[in-house]
Structures are given as C-alpha cells and as structure tokens.
Amino acid sequence: MNLGMPNGLTIRNSKPSDHSKIISILKDWWGGRDLTWMLPKLFFVHFNNTSFVMEKDGELIAFLIGFLSPALPKEGYIHFVGVHPDFRGFGIGKYLYQRFFKICKENNRDTIRACTSPVNKGAIEFHKKIGFEILKGNAEIDGTRITLDYNKPNDPKVLFKIRI
C-alpha cells in the first residue's frame, strides 16, 4: 500500500491536548451540526496509539479517531474522522483510512467497522468509494440501508464494514 503523504502536510498520533482544539472546530467542519457528545476526552486519552492528527504549518487539517477493538480481536473501529472543509477532495480522508488499515493489518485485524448518519451523504459516498459495504439494517432511507434507534431512540445510522 502506498501511503505517500499529501503535499505539505504532517501527521502524528493524537494527544490529550488536541481535544479542546478539535471540539472547537466541530460545528464549522460539520456544517453546523453539534457532534461534541461523540468526542468525550477519553478518546484523546486512551486511543492515541491508533488515532492521528494532520497539520499544515501547525494548523489542524484533519484527524481520525479509531481503535483496535479490545473485545473483538479481529476488528478495528473508526469512530470519528474530520477533514477541514478547505482541504476536502484531495484524498486526505482516504489517506487517514489507509493509515489506520495498515495498523490494523499489523495487529492481525481484518475487519474494520464505522458508521455515520443518513443525513451525511458525503460520508456515505466516501465509505462506498473506499470499498465499505453497508450492513443490512432494518429500514431504508433514499435507497440507503439504515439501522434505526442505533445509539438511542430516533437515531438512525448507516453501518459500514470492510474486509482488508
């Protein structure tokens, strides 16, 4: 797998002090949606070995928060990924996913899961393009299979899985 770094960007593992910076840009990067609840600080304390931050001249450009499942020894889980709106379309998300896949392979994980909300059409297309399949679920919205009440009542999700 060629993991050449996109031009002018640096990458490093995430660290606890990244948390407040990332919380502060969430709404901007997600078109006004407030997803703060999905990123409690614990994700920046306990999963830094499999999570990354990309920067350009010290400015946050992208991040991926993922972990090797402790309970499912063949699986990795990508919890949250963001790319600065001005830097979309350059393959940065794909690069981050490939980096995470590489770590998973090195740790004998062959199945990666992720999920998104049906409203996030960009994320659905992105995962399809990478090669994820969408799990069967129990309903459908606009032709996309979804799983209802996933994290709580009235919280439909699109569930993705890929074998690497």
Q: Which residues bind a copy of itself (CB under 8 A)?
A: 20, 23, 36-42, 45-50, 67-72, 75, 77, 79, 149-153
Question: How many C-alpha atoms does 36 have within 13 Å on its Cβ side?
Answer: 9
> Closest CB to a copy of itself among 92 and 97?
97
Q: How far apart are CA 63 and CA 84, in angstroms?
A: 9
The residue among 67 and 92 lying less far from a copy of itself, judged by its C-beta, is 67
Q: For the CB of residue 147, give the shortest distance to a copy of itself in the complex, in Å.
A: 9
Nearer to a copy of itself, 67 or 100 (CB): 67
- Give phi and psi for 83, each to the nearest 5: -130, 135
Least distance to a copy of itself from the beta carbon of 43, Å? 10
In the complex, minimum distance from the CB of residue 61 to a copy of itself, in angstroms, rounded to a whole number: 22
Beta carbon nearer to a copy of itself, 15 or 121: 15
Closest approach of a copy of itself to the CB of residue 1, in Å: 22
DSSP for residue 147: B
Total Cβ atoms within 10 A of residue 153: 7
- Neighbouring CB atoms inside 10 A of 85's CB total 11
DSSP secondary structure string for all residues of 1-25: ---PPPTT-EEEE--TTHHHHHHHH
